[in-house]
Amino acid sequence: MGNFDLTGRKALVTGGARGIGASIAEALAKAGAAVMIGDILNDLGQQTASAIAKTGAKAGFTPLDVREDASWQAAVAATISTLGGFDVLVNNAGIEITALVVDIDAAELRRMLDVNIVGVSLGMKHAFRTMRPGGPAGKGGAVVNISSVAATIAFPSIAGYSATKSAVDRLTRVGAMEAGKLGYGVRVNCIYPGLIPTDMGMKLAGDVVAAGLWPTTDAAVGDVVGQTPLGRLGEVGDVADAAVFLCSDAARFITGVGLPVDGGMGM
């Protein structure tokens, strides 16, 4: 498998119970990594981990609410005790709450900030503390944060969400700078996925119709595809393959970048 071989790596994927996160967990396992899924969806997370374990990979589930420091501590400890180490973190968990600017609700905006910004920040904090020399895992590693094409274009009705994903972009750059300068041995990169028809993506397609921006979900999706040079929606596997690359030694001299996986929509 060459440079994309992740044999021996120990990965935690947040929000890995379903959607993009589940696909990333599967792809990391297929590349040889042992994988822990962390999510607030305990039953589905267990099922996804069991399905990966059935393929012969080492896989487990840990409850994780990315908004909470104590939950991170427990999830990282569970990852180390179950997998025997921790050197890959994919900060994938996120939520999207659609609202035109004129309709922004402070509590809902704060809910998004809490998951998308606080969650990613705490993830980097615990990854750095654990992976850096002298930490409980101590072998360095790779962090991949999931931002969005929403951080690179202006799409109506997702101002708040786009702001959180722009924050993920900046968190990635500053995290990469600190991890490099301070000798943690941890690379930090992010991915900007385009629209993908997961639970989140399909809900957004419905929300923009409800907001009066497009007449039907088919028209909204058709417009997105029309703005995408490669002419289709994204698939979860598109993001998963990019994550495997960024975690692998093929990306050994890459840190602090954002990789669009959007068919060219955000170019």
Residue numbers at the binding site for ligand NAD (CB under 6 A): 14-15, 17-21, 39-41, 64-67, 92-96, 115, 119, 146, 148, 193, 195-196, 198-201
Q: How far is CA 107 from CA 38, 41, 208, in A?
A: 25, 22, 20
Structure tokens at 210: 């409800």
Helix (H) or strand (E) holding 251: none
Nearer to ligand NAD, 140 or 227 (CB): 227
Q: Are 148 and 95 in contact (CB under 8 A)?
A: no
Provide the 3-class DSSP secondary structure of residue 260.
strand
Annotated catalytic residues are 161
d(C-alpha 40, C-alpha 247), whole Å:
24
Nearer to ligand NAD, 134 or 199 (CB): 199
Q: In residues, how long is the chain?
A: 267
Nearer to ligand NAD, 5 or 235 (CB): 235
Q: Is 106 left (phi over 0), alpha (psi -120 to 50) or beta?
A: alpha
Beta-bridged to residue 141, according to DSSP, are 186
d(C-alpha 14, C-alpha 92), whole Å:
5
CB of 202 to ligand NAD, least distance (A): 8
Residue whose pair of structure tokens reads 């654990």 in the numeric block: 130
CB of 70 to ligand NAD, least distance (A): 13
Nearer to ligand NAD, 22 or 179 (CB): 22
CB of 80 to ligand NAD, least distance (A): 19
Nearer to ligand NAD, 82 or 145 (CB): 145
CB of 18 to ligand NAD, least distance (A): 5
Nearer to ligand NAD, 22 or 34 (CB): 22
Exposure string of 203-238, with b = 16+ CB inside 10 Å and e = fewer, is ebbebbeeeebbeebeebbeebbebbeeeebbbbeb
Provide the 3-class DSSP secondary structure of residue 225.
helix
Count Cα neighbours of 145 within 13 Å in the Cβ-side half-sphere. Answer: 39
Provide the 3-class DSSP secondary structure of residue 33.
coil
